[in-house]
Structure 1
Amino acid sequence: MTFRAEELLAGLPSPFDARSSSFFETLRRQAPDAVPPVFAGGPMAEELRGRLVDGTTVLAVRAADGVVIAGDRRATAGNLISRGDMRKIFPADDWSAVGISGTAGPAMELARIFATELEHYEKVEGDPLSLEGKSNKLAGLVRAHLPMAMQGLIVVPLFAGVDPRTGEGRIYEYDPVGGRYRATSHAATGSGSLAARATLKRLVTAGSDLRTAASVAVEALFDAAEEDSATGGPDLIRSIYPIVASIDAEGYRELTDEQVAAHVEDTVERRRNR
């Protein structure tokens, strides 16, 4: 029995093409079936919308030596509280993080793809992206999600990080269609963002250190929880606290529950003495 060369080659998998420094584009070209459906578009049943889990609120504060990014832990499905311990802050790489708000499933998928995208770029190019480049990459992923956003599955991230070359911290906001906007000192997104922004505008001061910025972030989440039913305050019974992370020239690190609890206790004490 003889085989033609074309028949033999047809049975072999095609080689992985890593010419592009974009993991998302490489995956879409090499294995389109592996691209998450939320980034490929498609119809969504009307009755499904009432069961979707939404996550809010996330915010970021710029400090003299870096940035602080924080998020509450509540997720809602319609008028119900779906989860009280949802994670909304994800490290993107060693010097940046993304906060998610909007439809939880696609938002968490976006955060994971974004982290993989940055890792893939560094492996292919041999050098990490600049902070500006990272923010542009995230904007591209939000634009790729536009077909699903038009059906109501809106994802609005918040990006914060430090350029390890200069030590400068920056915060970037996005809109549902991929618009990217650099914030000067603070930013917030999600259903409780209006109340959080009011607190940040009142308390954020130029040149503050990371600890002060973390304290302000916790207080802003407190105010958001008081004004917005979809934003959860600290759960003192179950010891569930907001996720608060600081990023400086030494990298990304999350505050422990004990450290966040100390900020919560300080906030409660200040309010008792008003």
Structure 2
Amino acid sequence: MSRVLKPNANNLETGTTTVGMVARDAVVLATDRRVTAGYYIAHRRGRKIWRIDDHVAATMSGGVADVQKILEALTLQAMDYKIRTGLPVPVKTLANYASVAMFSSRPYIFIAHMILGGVTEQEGPVLYTIDWYGSVTEERRFASTGSGSPTAFGVLEDGYRDGMSLEDAIKLGIRAVRAAMMHDPASGEGVDVITITPKEGFKEIDTSKYL
């Protein structure tokens, strides 16, 4: 992830590759690990997937502090909702809350671009993208953010199938991020993958067996 010092609507970019997919009764999130500050590699083992609750998580792209501030707020909202209702917070509720928080910061903006994914009994597997202006888009199939996303989108467009199995989605997510790492200098150092399913909830995947 990298922070652009003078953002505007035409050239705001973040140095990373994140991917999200809706699979059969599941959500898959995948990211690279390289953390950058401009052309400087600040960290080689950065975690870019944030667990919000057992049933929902988000990818991190943009300015590290900005993304963490928003995701910490979402985590607190999820905890508060569960305490008050005894139920997991709807993913759409978190997406709307993130949108309000980011939009209300204008004329300043949070340099944050997230893929929010989760599974609830009422919603099923759902995926949203939230950009630095607070715009929310529900993604029916897949999404990607960061400087490596053009390459990742090419792989996803070619390999994604509606109703694909969880195993196939994991393999495709790894392939998309690895392809981006080959072409984008701001992405690299390996791939992290998590899955969210009704039975197991949030689960980290050992990607070594897929390489």
User: Residue type of the partner of 1:105?
Assistant: A
Displacement of 1:176: 1.4
| Consecutive unaligned residues in structure 2, runs of 5 or more | 7-13
> Counterparts of 1:111 and 1:201 in 2: how far apart (Å)?
28
Q: Please, what TM-score do these two structures have when normalized by structure 2? A: 0.87
Whether 1:252 aligns to 2:202 is yes
User: Residue type of the partner of 1:76?
Assistant: T
User: Residue type of the partner of 1:157?
Assistant: M
Whether 1:98 aligns to 2:48 is no
Partner in structure 2 of residue 243 of structure 1: 192
Whether 1:179 aligns to 2:126 is no
User: Residue type of the partner of 1:131?
Assistant: V
The answer on whether the counterparts of 1:97 and 1:159 sit within 8 Å (CA) in structure 2 is yes
The answer on whether the counterparts of 2:119 and 2:126 sit within 8 Å (CA) in structure 1 is yes
> Counterparts of 2:159 and 2:189 in 1: how far apart (Å)?
19
**1:60-107 deviation digits (Å, cap 9, x = unpaired):** 111112110011101111111111111110111111101110011111
Which stretches of structure 1, 4 residues or more, deviate above 6 A after TM superposition? Answer: none
User: Residue type of the partner of 2:114?
Assistant: P
Partner in structure 1 of residue 171 of structure 2: 215
The answer on whether the counterparts of 2:21 and 2:142 sit within 8 Å (CA) in structure 1 is yes
> Counterparts of 1:60 and 1:197 in 2: how far apart (Å)?
11
* Percent of residue pairs bearing the same amino acid type: 27
| Consecutive unaligned residues in structure 1, runs of 5 or more | 1-47, 235-241, 266-274
CA spacing shift, 1:146–1:261, aligned 2, 3 Å: farther
> Counterparts of 1:125 and 1:144 in 2: how far apart (Å)?
27
The answer on whether the counterparts of 1:55 and 1:103 sit within 8 Å (CA) in structure 2 is no
2:208 to 261, 266, 272: 261
> Counterparts of 1:148 and 1:125 in 2: how far apart (Å)?
34
- The structure with the largest strand share of the pair is 2
Q: Secondary structure at the match of 1:102?
A: coil
181-190 or 118-127, which deviates more:
118-127
Displacement of 1:57: 1.6
Partner in structure 1 of residue 188 of structure 2: 232
The answer on whether the counterparts of 1:97 and 1:160 sit within 8 Å (CA) in structure 2 is yes
Partner in structure 2 of residue 140 of structure 1: 100
Displacement of 1:131: 2.5
Larger Rg: 1
Q: Secondary structure at the match of 1:155?
A: coil
Report 1 or 2 for greater relative contact order, CA contacts < 8 Å, sequence distance ≥ 6.
2
Displacement of 1:108: 1.8
Whether 1:83 aligns to 2:43 is yes
The answer on whether the counterparts of 1:225 and 1:232 sit within 8 Å (CA) in structure 2 is yes
Q: Please, what TM-score do these two structures have when normalized by structure 1? A: 0.68
- The structure with the largest helix share of the pair is 1
CA spacing shift, 1:103–1:145, aligned 2, 3 Å: farther
**1:157-212 deviation digits (Å, cap 9, x = unpaired):** 1101112346x211111221111001111000111111111111111111211111
User: Residue type of the partner of 2:117?
Assistant: A
The answer on whether the counterparts of 1:101 and 1:156 sit within 8 Å (CA) in structure 2 is yes
Partner in structure 2 of residue 193 of structure 1: 149
- Aligned Cα root-mean-square deviation (Å): 2.0
Partner in structure 2 of residue 21 of structure 1: none
**1:6-52 deviation digits (Å, cap 9, x = unpaired):** xxxxxxxxxxxxxxxxxxxxxxxxxxxxxxxxxxxxxxxxxx949xx
